[in-house]
Amino acid sequence: MNVDHKVQTLDEFTIQQMRDFPHATGELSSLLRDIGLAAKRVNVEVNKAGLVDILGDAGTVNVQGEDVKKLDIYANNQFMGVLKHGISCGGIASEELDDFFPFDDPVSNNSKYVCLFDPLDGSGNIDTNVSIGTIFSVYRRVTPKGAPVQEIDFLQPGRDQVAAGYIVYGSSTMLVYATRRGVNGFTLDPSIGEFTMSHPTIRTPEFGRIYSVNHGNFFQYEEPVKRYITNCQKKDKTNGGPYTQRYIGSMVADVHRNLIKGGIFMYPGTLEKPKGKLRLLYECNPCAFILEVAGGKATDGKQRILDVQPTELHQRSPLFIGSKGMMEELEGCF
Ligand code: AHG
Ligand code: MN
Ligand code: MN
């Protein structure tokens, strides 16, 4: 037996990281552990989505006479539940909730962080067995401890994130998370039920050959975006064009593939929806944080995503995100 081969679990890794900071309270490690637990529960349901009646519309009743919750509401409740019962999170905001939700109990009111998430990204893909995911974002609360968290704790610019990450429920289930110190990827080992380190210190390639965009909207995009997409299709590129087009329709899976292989993902504004479809707080900011820590870039076409001051919880934003070199090519088209 090779005793030197060390499999590092997510929990071991976060505790190890904490040891490097003698004054750390362990709250962030504990929050990541809570998220890992909820992710495992959601993973179980995602895996059997084809077998059970969990795809039905919320509010309908299944054969056992129980209320059927859509998988995205189920996921929302799992993440909300673990964070409420944990010791690190004062409250959450979620794509599935109209308003932010302060936990408002003595432990939560004294904890350091707030968490925002898109419980199931790509939920339109669930019933066709295509990869989907969860995206999360963590900020230090800005209001004083001792009272319920408030809306301003959630309306912070993305550059102030303490950590951000996502889980992809795909051919394997992976959790990727970033702090300022780096991006690390963990793959769920179903035989032991643990996320184990599989992608240490992820850096995204400076150039890739993949561009991801909904081509169906092409004629609705503004001129610079059309110009860039057309450039992606040209053969005379010095860096290996024409590029390959890949678009899953689950942003988290598209962004994950491009992070690993190098590429650019775009959800531009359209004539009908000038701010596009994606939400700044639940989708754009966490992915922008991860990509920047990994060496990539993210903008809304005008400014760095992480510098946008949010004004409302559910605000939308165009998103261009990916390898630095490709992002610079795009910026050259504006
Ligand atoms: P959600 O399932 O959380 O509502 O997000 C779906 C998003 C995103 O994941 C994906 O990239 C995009 O919608 C796809 O939209 P189009 O079908 O308009 O391209
Ligand atoms: Mn989403
Ligand atoms: Mn969603």
The ligand 1 atom nearest the CA atom of 282? 3
Q: If you measure from the C-alpha of residue 122 to the centroid of ligand 1, how many angstroms do you get, rounded to a whole number?
A: 5
10-199: what fold?
A: Fructose-1,6-Bisphosphatase; Chain A, domain 1 (3.30.540)
Q: If you measure from the C-alpha of residue 132 to the centroid of ligand 2, how many angstroms do you get, rounded to a whole number?
A: 9
Q: What are 254-313's pLDDT values in tens digits?
A: 999 999 999 999 999 999 999 999 999 999 999 999 999 999 999 999 999 999 999 999
Considering the entire predicted model, what is its pTM? Answer: 0.94
Question: Burial, 113: exposed, middle or buried (Cβ in 10 Å; 0-12, 13-18, 19+)?
Answer: buried
Q: If you measure from the C-alpha of residue 118 to the centroid of ligand 2, how many angstroms do you get, rounded to a whole number?
A: 6
Task: Give 186's DSSP letter.
Answer: E
Distinct helix (H) and strand (E) counts, the chain: 9, 13
Report d(CA 227, CA 218) in Å as an integer. 10
Q: What are 152-188's pLDDT values in tens digits?
A: 999 999 999 999 999 999 999 999 999 999 999 999 9
Q: Do 255 and 264 contact (CB within 8 A), yes or no? A: no
Can you give the pLDDT at residue 160? 98
Q: Which residue has the tokens 């090519």?
A: 329
Q: If you measure from the C-alpha of residue 283 to the centroid of ligand 1, how many angstroms do you get, rounded to a whole number?
A: 10
Residues with CB under 6 A from ligand 1: 95, 118, 121-124, 214, 249-251, 277
Nearest CA to ligand 1 atom 2: 122
Give the amino acid at 182: G
| CATH tag for 210-331 (out of 3.40.50.10140, 1.10.10.410, 3.40.190.80, 3.30.70.100) | 3.40.190.80
Domain ranges (residues) in the chain:
10-199, 210-331
The ligand 1 atom nearest the CA atom of 254? 11
Q: Do 165 and 250 contact (CB within 8 A), yes or no? A: no
Q: Which residue has the higher pLDDT, 5 or 253?
A: 253
